[in-house]
Amino acid sequence: MGNQQSDRKNERGDAGITAGGDVYIDNTGQLAIGKYITQVKIETPSGEALVKLMDSLDQKRQESVNKEILSSYITSALPDYPLQLRKFVTENRVDELTQALIYLQDHRILLISGVGGVGKTTLARALIETRPANVPLPFWFDFSKNEDATLGDVLKKLASYMNSPDIAKFKQEGREAGQEDINRLTGELQKREPVWLVFDNLEIILDDRNFHDPDIDSLFTSLMDSTHQAKIIVTSRTLPKLGNGESLIDEMVGEKHDLKGLKLDFAVDYLTKNGLDREEREQLEELANGVDGHPLALRLLIGLAKKFGVSDTLNDLSMYQKQKEDIIKKTRRLFDKLAGDEKELLERISVYRQPESLAAIKRLFINKTSVDAVEQLIDKSLLETDHNGSYWLHPIVREFAYDDLENKIEAHKVVYQYYIAHHVPEKRTKKEDVQLLIEAHHHACMAQEYDKAVDVIFDYNLDEDLDKWGNSRTLVVLYQRILPEDPFKDKPVLGSIGTHGMFSGISVLPTSLLDR
């Protein structure tokens, strides 16, 4: 691979453009597609530049030499990709597409990972539009539509795609497919010009991180280890692990591409262009932030808005919650399967409301928690990290996990102790300086230790600080958490009454708050 890459670079000459059909970074820091001098500035990638690139590649595919290559393959059925979706993805996923395209120039296997519904399949489908002009439409195999697929099933489809009956010779010989047939496939790939092979929803055929079918394991092991010019694109919620103990991607030189939700501006743009254009931006930002820009959740909101009206949907999100719960029920089995042995830790982590450190995560370890549990959850796209010391759960994953947590009170007690033990700055000038105290108060309430929640407010003068900084809404929420639902009728929630200005479960709010 290295020598081959070096030879190709020499072909580029002073212009920094290769004479081949692959993707390279030229010596001006631009993205060059083959000899066609179609470039995208890496420093400022744009949807417009990618559209120009795709149009140029489409034109080059009409050249006779490329048409001859492309017509020698029988196209797989690809996911539907309407023009409107293509335009939106090209504009809003330009960073992800550019990064994936650059990555593929030096690596054989690209893994796109992320939580369910975040758009892994769509990104893979969009990436196809940027393939070099001499690469045919790819082979596409979706395991979500072939849950019981065997090695033979995959090889038969590959044999058809490549017009190479020998790959499926086992069928004529009346036997099960095996390693010799895999070798025929890799041998054929070695002889050919580059092709792209896409394997979608790979997590379907994994038990924890391992392939439950050893023959499928052998297929991917061979695709990773043998010498060939094919590019392998895999979408999976989980980082697959091979039977030989290695990961499907070489973690020393490669990486999985974690797909996140849409950036805030793009998520708001998505909402406005799909029926919510008359609403205030602040409301739309709140909706988008509430689901981390998760495309599936955004589509649910839009569907409800079209069905029941924008105002009713925004004012009453219970319908959205109901639809989301239905989806959660449908995907429960897969979620439980993905969580595996780390499920209990995942559930305990779900009590955190904000990104936290590894030390915070480890506070929720129990005796049977494995030392690599955090790494396992990250590899399964269930735990997020910025690789800079912060860890958190995607809101949808958090709902799955928290719903299943049996001993919620005990977990909240542990987290309360974690927050309350932190040093609070002596000089505090803004709400962020007391966020740990706010979190401690929340977890004390969730643990039903309301006296401790009151102590957090008054022992640390939290009420005075928040009132002084103008954070009256936050302070009202803190007080509400320690009051019964109906302060005048319901039983007091506090064990000791009279301290800190409390009487019969009703807080005496500062006068300045009552004036607001």
Q: Which domains does the chain have, with CATH numbers?
A: 40-258 (3.40.50), 264-330 (no CATH), 350-514 (no CATH)
Q: What pLDDT is attached to residue 9?
A: 33
Q: Model's pTM, two decimal places?
A: 0.60
CA distance 240 to 205: 10
- Segment 76-86 shows an average pLDDT of 84
| pLDDT computed for residue 508 by the predictor | 40
Q: Is the pLDDT at 58 greater than 50, yes or no? A: yes
Q: According to the per-residue pLDDT averaged within each range, which of 65-69, 402-406, 503-507 is highest?
A: 402-406
What rounded mean pLDDT belongs to the chain? 78
| Rounded Cα distance, 443 and 198, in Å | 45
Report how far apart, in Å, the C-alpha atoms of 395 and of each of 104, 297, 399 are. 31, 10, 6
Amino acid at 234: V
Residue 271: pLDDT band by 50, 70, 90 thresholds?
Answer: confident
Q: Are 24 and 12 in contact (CB under 8 A)?
A: yes
Least confident span in 176-180, 273-277, 408-412: 273-277
- pLDDT of the residue at 39: 43
Please name the amino acid found at residue 304.
L
> What is the sign, positive or negative, of the torsion defined by CA atoms of 439, 442, 448, 452?
positive
Mean pLDDT (whole number) for 19-29: 40
Asked if the model's pLDDT at residue 49 lies above 60, the reply is yes
Does residue 439 register a pLDDT over 80?
yes
Q: Put the strands of the sheet holding 196-200 in their side by side order.
A: 139-142, 196-200, 231-235, 109-113, 256-258
Q: Is the pLDDT of residue 312 over 60?
A: yes
Q: What does the pLDDT average to over 196-217?
A: 90
Is residue 76 predicted with pLDDT exceeding 60?
yes
Q: The tokens of 368 are what?
A: 């049977």
Tokens 């004036």 locate to: 515
Residue type, 190: Q
User: Residue 488 CB: number of other CB atoms within 10 A?
Assistant: 8
Least confident stretch, 166-170, 189-193, 272-276: 272-276
Buried b / exposed e over 492-501, threshold 16 CB at 10 Å, is bbbeeeeebe
Residue 7, pLDDT score = 37
pLDDT tier at 216 (50, 70, 90 boundaries)? very high
Contact call for residues 8 and 18 (beta carbons, < 8 A)? yes
Proportion of the chain above pLDDT 90, given as a percent:
29
The predicted pLDDT at position 213 comes to: 92
What is the per-residue pLDDT across 314-371, written as a single tens digit (0 to 9) for each? 666 555 555 555 655 555 555 666 677 888 999 999 999 988 999 999 999 998 898 8
The answer for residues whose C-beta is within 8 angstroms of residue 300's C-beta and 6 or more apart is 320, 323, 324, 327
Q: Read off the pLDDT of each residue in 292-309 and give the average, rounded to a whole number.
A: 69
Q: Give the pLDDT score at 362.
A: 94
Residue 319's Cβ-count burial label (10 Å; 0-12, 13-18, 19+) is middle
pLDDT band at 309 (very low <50, low <70, confident <90, very high): low
DSSP result, 280-333: -HHHHHHHHHHTTT-HHHHHHHHHHHHHH-HHHHHH-THHHHHHHHHHHHHTHH
Q: Which amino acid is at 142?
A: D
Give mean pLDDT, residues 246-275.
75
Output 239-242 pairs: Cβ under 8 A, ≥24 positions apart. 239/111, 239/113, 239/209, 239/379, 239/380, 239/381, 240/111, 240/202, 240/206, 240/209, 240/210, 240/211, 241/209, 241/210, 242/210, 242/211, 242/217
Structure-token pair, residue 294: 């998760």
Average pLDDT over residues 469-496: 73
Distance set, CA 500 to CA 199, 429, 460, 493 (Å)? 62, 23, 12, 15
Tokens (6 digits) for 234: 């895999």
Average pLDDT over residues 88-95: 84
CA dist., res. 193 & res. 507, Å (int): 75
